[in-house]
Amino acid sequence: MLTVRAYSYFNYMAAPDPRSFLPLKPVDLEMLLALAEQDLHGYGLVQAISEHTDGLLVLDPGNLYRVVKRLLSDGLMAEADREARDASERRKYYRITPLGGRVLTKELDRLRLLVNATSTRQTVKRWTS
Amino acid sequence: MILFNLLLRLFPRAFRESFGVEMRRLFVDQHLEARRRGIAATGGLWMRTVTGMTATAWRERREGRRGGFGRMRVLETLSADLRLTFRMLIARPLFTALIVAAISIGVGGVATIFSGLNALVLRPLPGATDGDSLVGIDRRNPDFSEGVSSSVRFYEHLRDSSRSLSGVAVWSRVPLTVVVGREAYSLSGNIVSNNYFDVLGVRPTLGRFFDPGSGVRDAAEPSMILSHATWLAHFGGDPSIVGRSVAVNGRPYLVIGVAPAAFRGVFTPIRIDAWVPLSTQPHVHPQRDLTDQAWLWTFGRLQPGIPTSQARSELATLTTAWTAAGRDGYVRYTSIRLTPLTGLPDDARQALLGFGAVLLGAATLVLIIAAANVSTLLAMRATARRREMGIRTALGAGRGRLVRQLLTETLTLFLLGGFGGTLLAAVGTGALERLPIPADQGLSLELSPDMRVLIFSLAVSLAVGLLFGIVPALRSASRNPVTLLKTSSAGGGRRTLTTSGLIVAQMTCSLVLLTTAGLFVRAVTAGASIDPGFDARNVALASFNTRAYGYDESQGRAFYLALRQRLESAPGVEAVTYADRTPLTMSNSGGTVTVDGSGPDGKERKQMRVEVGIADSGYFDTLGIRLIAGRDFAREDVSGNGAVAVVNETFVRRAWPGLHPAGVVGRTIFSATRPVTIIGVAADSKYSTIDEPATPFVYRPQAQRWDAGRTLFVRVTGDPAAADRTIQNAVAAIDPLLPRITVTTLTREASTALLPQRVAALVTGVLGVAGLFLAAIGLYGLVSYGVALRLREIGVRLALGASRGDVVRMILGQGLRLTMIGTVLGLIASAFATRFVAAYLLNVSAMDGVAFTGAVVVLLVVAVLAAVVPARRAGSADPLIVLRTE
């Protein structure tokens, strides 16, 4: 893992390897999933994630913006330059970056592989019956 | 929102700057949604936000600080401790919530009182720059018992001669009437020296302030500065107001600036709407002067690095030199006292500090109860966790490490409670701000907690947490792992003893709170039943100041006469009069008279200190004060004719002991050297406060001296509040351009007399209920725990033929024994503690039997209720099931 990071650091200016970000933390995954659908502001993000996780994950402002800060500095998401709908609506919207999209796809691929693996299926079968 | 802003402060600055605004917006949205869903959702949101924000803020800071190598190890263990702690707390949400709630209540009471005191007397003046170097300057007599205000010349002397102060400024209050368009408004104004804002370090929001370079006697176009609130309310926040002229007391004044919103003057509880410079005194305050009359409050700013004591001695020297040179008539006032400038005059500040200390003491008792309660809960849980401690010790955890872990848990709980307490304080101070305080001036109370209160609450929480957490932590970690692992349950005798002690302490504190609350309630009822000597029912009143309307003396007299005549002919009005003060509103003005012929030979002269009030004819009739002898003031008692007065019974008793009131009518007393004839004797009544001793009082007729400020009293047949329309109409009929006046009732105004008792009864009552509630939960918990431990024994007893009643009595007895010990100790403690509140109890004894008995009864009833529930549960246990499961 460490060597991959170092490698990606040297190639940062060119194009960071999406795989260097894997596996994603659950919160990061949820955020990127929500943003992949549409650009959202902070409250929208919290609501989307809460809905998607059946209310299991409700972020407080501190937690949310800590993740936002990290994803911004990793270049996985960015501020959306979006026209405000009206004057009172001057929130910051966030969008997913192309890099973020690639990371998300790779992570979903990884999860799909994991879920579909024969060993996983056997495990599930053993513990649900 | 205050709490959220404080939470935001925990984050590193850079983080706050990038995301602060967005975080606040997000929280507002979440809060709105939670509010829609009800109180439980709101509570959950706060709980989640406080814990989440604290934890993330800490992590943010830690990441920012990476690189400090020496602290790494300590931080790592700390972070491990904290992670474990959070896991422990979240694993038992109910237990955590219960403890945090108990601490929040305890800290909340203390924080509320502290927040109020902080806002009123501790924190430096809001809106001023570097408020810590501002000092109030108080000219006093050498033993500081009496003081005198500053004259303009004395102020200039200090300002020009002092080297230890970088600036000296003065101010006084003045009523203003401002006409905007066709509407007139009464404003509460301040008349100030030109350097007032510069000395305070206040910057204008708009325009400029007065020019400190120009002198008080320079003729210039009169100017005015508006408060931020007035600018918004009466001028629509229009920036073009600066440079415009508005009519003030009938003359044009140039608006030159708007003060910032945070600045509320030097005397903060009273709302200030506008400021005018000293040079406007001949117009707005003509009965004062710009030479030797003492009428100004003084304050200054210390030069950097100069201690208060040095400035004080310099100013005292300047004052002594001033009086020695015979520069004014206040020769007795040769000393100076310097006080921190916090928004209240020093006397009020001291009184409030004393009163606040009593309330803070009561709140501390609740905190002790809460802490003892939490301590009991923690001790019970420690028993449950003995196995865990045993295993960890066996695996090689050092004792220090275990103690640290346990302390971290306790302190985290108390810190959360500290935040909760601050939140409660925000609610509590909001309630205190809304207390109805009758006043003739607009009040602006702002008591909400600030950063200082949060730090105070957290510090108190940590200190109490340490105090109550260290012993259980040491004890839990000290056991030999083998014994810990071997015995499964059944606590040691020593622990139950400690717990019982804590319950007794809670009962003791509760009883002290209850007796105190009871005493204040008794004081309020006793105060309300004292006969004030006048009839406050059916009297409406309103205050006027004709100078503020731009009237001179003859116009003012004409106005008052016309108003009186109009009201006298209005339907439903029984009597109308004027006076210079409202009884029982703590206002007073004294004087000295010389009485002739007081000795048996009728030759002796004697000086008497008396209270003096100015009243118009019909005063005694309107207020229902009995005239014992002689007559009321009449139309012919005007300035030209001889001076007359009505005195009260106490005056007669003191001046001519043994003389019948009827016999003093016609006698002469001297005010200075002027002879005054007594024309009547009125019955004693209460003048300033409800618990004042009998006071010699002299009424002088309004017709014989002019004062632009008067209070109108109208006795009506029906509801006095309904007189509002009648009075407003009468005023509008005389001059439609006058500002709307405030009409209240005498009953409402006179209730100010019992305000400290009411506030104290309310606050100690709430604290008493909170304390009793916590203590009851503690007792319930202990008895339940005792039942759980003795379940086996109970089963055996029942199986051997003990009746259910026997079991209930046994368990109940155990709980009540503790209550009885607590009651006895509580009575002793109360007898000691209530001495501190004796000064506020009017004529109720500090050992009042009713209050003490009532408190004991309430405590016993609640204690029986708390103990009877688990006792009955024990009694209804099925011996078969109990013995099988144990």
The whole-number average pLDDT for the span B867-872 is 86
On the CB side of B125, CA atoms within 13 Å amount to: 30
Interacting residues of B172 by C-beta distance below 8 A, sequence separation 6+: B149, B190, B191, B285, B288, B295, B296, B297
pLDDT band at B489 (very low <50, low <70, confident <90, very high): very low
Assign B420 a pLDDT band (cuts: 50, 70, 90): very high
Q: In the predicted model, is pLDDT for residue B282 greater than 50? A: yes
Say if the Cβ atoms of A69 and B26 lie within 8 Å: no
Inform me whether the pLDDT recorded for B99 exceeds 80.
yes
B315-324 per-position pLDDT tens digit: 999 999 988 8
The mean per-residue pLDDT over the stretch B859-865 comes to 91
Q: Are strands B251-258 and B223-226 parallel, antiparallel or unpaired?
A: parallel
> Any chain A CB within 8 A of the CB of B55?
yes
Our measurement of the distance from residue B65's CA atom to the centroid of its chain's CA atoms, rounded to an integer in Å, reads 42
- Amino acid making up residue B272: I
User: Residue A5 has what pLDDT?
Assistant: 42
Checking if the pLDDT of B444 tops 90, the result is no
Do the strands B573-579 and B335-340 form a parallel or antiparallel pair, or are they unpaired? unpaired
**Looking at per-residue confidence, does B275 or B66 come out higher?**
B275
Q: Is the pLDDT assigned to residue B373 strictly greater than 50?
A: yes
Q: For residue B860, give Cα distances in angstroms to B820, B829, B866.
A: 8, 17, 10
User: What is the tens place of the pLDDT at every residue in B669-701?
Assistant: 888 778 888 999 999 998 877 878 888 999 999
Find out whether the peptide bond into A23 is cis, omega within 30 degrees of 0: yes
Which of A25, A45, A46, A66 is the best residue to mutate to test the B interface, defined by the most B CB atoms within 10 Å of its own CB?
A: A66
Neighbours of B518 (CB within 10 A): 26
What local confidence, expressed as pLDDT, does residue A9 receive? 43
B26 interaction partners in chain A (CB closer than 8 Å): 42-43, 46, 61, 64
CB atoms within 10 A of CB B802: 16
Count the Cβ atoms, other than its own, within 10 Å of residue B130. Answer: 12
Comparing alpha-carbon positions, the chain B residue that sits nearest to A61 is B23
pLDDT confidence tier of residue B69, bands split at 50, 70 and 90: very low
pLDDT at B67: 46
Could you tell me where the DSSP H helices lie in B385-441? 386-394, 399-433
CA atoms within 13 A on the CB side of B845: 6
pLDDT class for A10, splitting at 50, 70, 90? very low
What is the ipTM, given to two decimal places? Answer: 0.80
**Nearest to residue B358, comparing CAs of B846, B862, B770, B858?**
B846
Rg (CA), chain A: 17
- Cα(B777)–Cα(B796) distance, rounded to whole angstroms? 28
What is the predicted pLDDT for the residue at B491?
Answer: 47
Q: Regarding predicted confidence, which is higher, B703 or B145? A: B703
Q: What is the mean pLDDT of residues B460-487?
A: 74
Give the pLDDT confidence score for residue B787 in this predicted structure. Answer: 82
| B712 phi and psi angles, rounded to 5 deg | -90, 135
> pLDDT tens, B822-846?
999 999 999 998 888 888 888 888 8
Asked if A42 lies within 8 A of B55 by C-beta distance, the reply is no
The single-letter code of the amino acid at B401 is: R
**Where residue B490 falls among pLDDT bands split at 50, 70, 90?**
very low
Higher pLDDT, B548 or B161: B161
Residue type, B213: G
- Nearest CB among A58, A69, A91 relative to B25 is that of A91
Q: At residue B690, what are phi and psi to the nearest 5 degrees?
A: -75, -25
Q: Mutation target for A interface from B18, B19, B33: give the one with most A CBs within 10 A.
A: B19
Rounded to two decimals, the pTM is: 0.67
pLDDT of residue A11: 42
Average of per-residue pLDDT across B346-358: 82
Rounded (10°) CA dihedral B481, B486, B487, B489: 90
Question: Other C-beta atoms within 10 Å of B739: how many?
Answer: 18
Whether B493 has a pLDDT exceeding 60, the answer reads no
Interface subset of A 1-40, CB within 8 angstroms of B? none
Residues B543 and B527: their CA atoms lie apart, in Å, by 26
Q: Looking at residue B603, what is its pLDDT?
A: 57
Q: Which tens digit of pLDDT belongs to each residue from B137-150?
A: 988 888 887 778 88
Interval B519-548 mean pLDDT: 86
Higher pLDDT, B389 or B760: B760
Q: Which residue has the higher pLDDT, B786 or B204?
A: B204
B167 CB contacts (<8 Å, ≥6 apart)?
Answer: B159, B195, B198, B199, B300, B301
Mean pLDDT of chain A: 80
**Rounded mean pLDDT, B471-496:** 61
Closest chain A C-alpha to B341 CA, distance in angstroms: 39
CB contact under 8 A, A61 and B29: no
B22-36 pLDDT, tens digit each = 888 888 888 888 888
> Which has more confidence, A103 or B286?
A103
What share of chain B in percent tops pLDDT 70? 93
Q: Using CA atoms, how far apart are residues B131 and B264, in angstroms rounded to an integer? A: 13
Q: What is the pLDDT of residue B49?
A: 86
- C-alpha angle B299/B300/B301, rounded to 5°? 145
B419–chain A Cβ distance below 8 A for any pair: no
Partner-chain residue, chosen from A43, A62, A92, that has the shortest CB–CB distance to B29: A43
**Average pLDDT of chain B, as a whole number:** 84
Predicted confidence at residue B567, as pLDDT, reads: 92
Q: Which range is least confidently modeled, A4-18, B376-390, B606-620, B723-737? A: A4-18
Contact call for A58 and B24, based on CB within 8 A: no
Return the closest-CA partner of residue B290 out of B175, B153, B409, B169: B153
Q: A83 CB near a chain B CB, below 8 Å?
A: no
Confirm or reject contact between B37 and chain A (CB < 8 A): no
Residue B453 confidence (pLDDT) above 50 = yes
Whether the Cβ atoms of residue B224 and residue B253 lie closer than 8 Å to each other: yes
Outline where A38-117 has alpha helix (H): 42-52, 61-74, 98-116
